[in-house]
Amino acid sequence: MSKTFSILIPTYNEHDNIAPLLERIAAAVQEQNYEVLFVDDNSRDGTAELINSLSTRYPARVIVRKDKRGLATAVTDGFGLVNSDTILVMDADLQHPPEIIPALIKAIHDGADIAIASRYVKGGGTSGWSTIRKITSSGAIMLAHIFLPHSRQVKDPMSGFFVFKSSVIDEVKLSPIGYKILLEMLVVGKASKVSEVPFMFQLREKGQSKLNISQEGEYLKHLFSLMHRSGEILRFLKFLLVGVSGTIVNLGILWLLHDQSMLNWDIRIALLVAIEVSILTNFILNNYFTFRDRRQSGSSTLIINCLRYNFFSIPGGILNWLTTIVLTDKSNGSYIMLNLVGVAVAMLWNFIANSLWTWKKR
């Protein structure tokens, strides 16, 4: 490992960006002992030839993949070919300004395992983005934050501009789909300290973005695959199972208080008690089963979390109460359907709210 750090850059038809990119990198990092490795997917505009011709002026080389295509695998293939334990990944199109490379490297020297050039911390941003692109970008991040708790530690898990210590991926199997290599590393990698350095994502001046609508679908596939590999699908199933147990508790209490001839409580009161008891049993089961790994000790947090859980259960509880009362009057099919849809929506809401706020710690 002879270099201080390696810069890994995937390219596809970036001919016009290569010379200014290498020049700006050299100016930004001064005479440090670095290397640049380009992983090119057989560009037809002479990108690779240009890099080769510039390799006498800059510490740069290129490997060309003849048949493989795709940003994520270009980057992961490059991981095995660099000569340093500190690896920086960036785009070739100058949307990632090389001038902040020193700040990223410094964050690693200061103890970070991954340092991210971030659009979403104070001082960062994007220039010239349409409203649609802004919304899809924030939506993608929100989905990650909801369903992949490991991504919650950072504001911009989608950035394509970051540096990391190779120990983060030692003996880790990476199988990213699409564009989001950083997200993959945050979820399955071994980073304990992650920091973010603000930057402005620049407009692309030369060449074209390869991002298209199919990337959105790829992203959802990747999200699902990461949820599966990190045990989050299993967690959601456990949550559903607890929900089923709560329904049984609910019906049981209702039967005991309302239908039993000795007690014969008013259904509206009996239902209220039944709902609250099932909320409590659900909380206990979720705390010791579904979210066992994110449970915090101490009786005061237990009480606070129980109150939170109750608070988030209010909409579902009201829905349950109303539809049950209505259903006992008119046992008509459309109300049953409505009730089922209501239960599904309430379950999803309960999972999201409690995962984000009750058991937010990862």
Q: Whole-number minimum distance, CB 92 to ligand GDD, in Å? A: 3
- Residue 206, contacted partner among Mn ion, ligand GDD, none, CB below 5-8 A by kind: none
Q: Whole-number minimum distance, CB 41 to ligand GDD, in Å? A: 4
Q: Whole-number minimum distance, CB 209 to ligand GDD, in Å? A: 4
- Residue 257, contacted partner among ligand GDD, Mn ion, none, CB below 5-8 A by kind: none
Q: Whole-number minimum distance, CB 341 to Mn ion, in Å? A: 41
Cross-strand pairs, 7: 36, 88
Rounded distance between C-alpha atoms, residue 294 and residue 359, angstroms: 6
- Residue 149, contacted partner among ligand GDD, Mn ion, none, CB below 5-8 A by kind: none
* Cβ nearer to Mn ion, comparing 176 with 246: 176
Q: Whole-number minimum distance, CB 25 to Mn ion, in Å? A: 16
Strand bridging mode 162-165 / 86-89: antiparallel
Strand bridging mode 125-126 / 200-201: parallel
Residues making contact with ligand GDD (CB under 6 A): 10-12, 14, 39-41, 69-71, 74, 91-93, 95, 137, 158, 160, 179, 209-211
* Cβ nearer to ligand GDD, comparing 10 with 198: 10
| CB-based closest residue to ligand GDD | 160
**Six token digits for residue 334:** 């459309």
Q: Whole-number minimum distance, CB 18 to ligand GDD, in Å? A: 10
Burial of 300 (0-12, 13-18, 19+ CB in 10 A): exposed
**Six token digits for residue 291:** 């979210």
* Cβ nearer to ligand GDD, comparing 41 with 232: 41
Give how far Cα 319 sits from Cα of 85, 142, 154, 253, 330, Å.
55, 26, 35, 18, 16
* Cβ nearer to ligand GDD, comparing 147 with 179: 179
Q: Whole-number minimum distance, CB 223 to ligand GDD, in Å? A: 13
- Residue 189, contacted partner among ligand GDD, Mn ion, none, CB below 5-8 A by kind: none
* Cβ nearer to ligand GDD, comparing 36 with 353: 36
Q: Whole-number minimum distance, CB 133 to ligand GDD, in Å? A: 8
* Cβ nearer to Mn ion, comparing 206 with 228: 206
* Cβ nearer to Mn ion, comparing 95 with 118: 95
How long a stretch of residues is the chain?
362
Rounded distance between C-alpha atoms, residue 104 and residue 85, angstroms: 14
Residues making contact with Mn ion (CB under 5 A): 93, 95, 209
* Cβ nearer to Mn ion, comparing 4 with 136: 136
- Residue 39, contacted partner among ligand GDD, Mn ion, none, CB below 5-8 A by kind: ligand GDD
* Cβ nearer to ligand GDD, comparing 21 with 271: 21
Q: Whole-number minimum distance, CB 24 to Mn ion, in Å? A: 15
- Residue 337, contacted partner among ligand GDD, Mn ion, none, CB below 5-8 A by kind: none
CA torsion sign for 309, 312, 316, 318 is positive
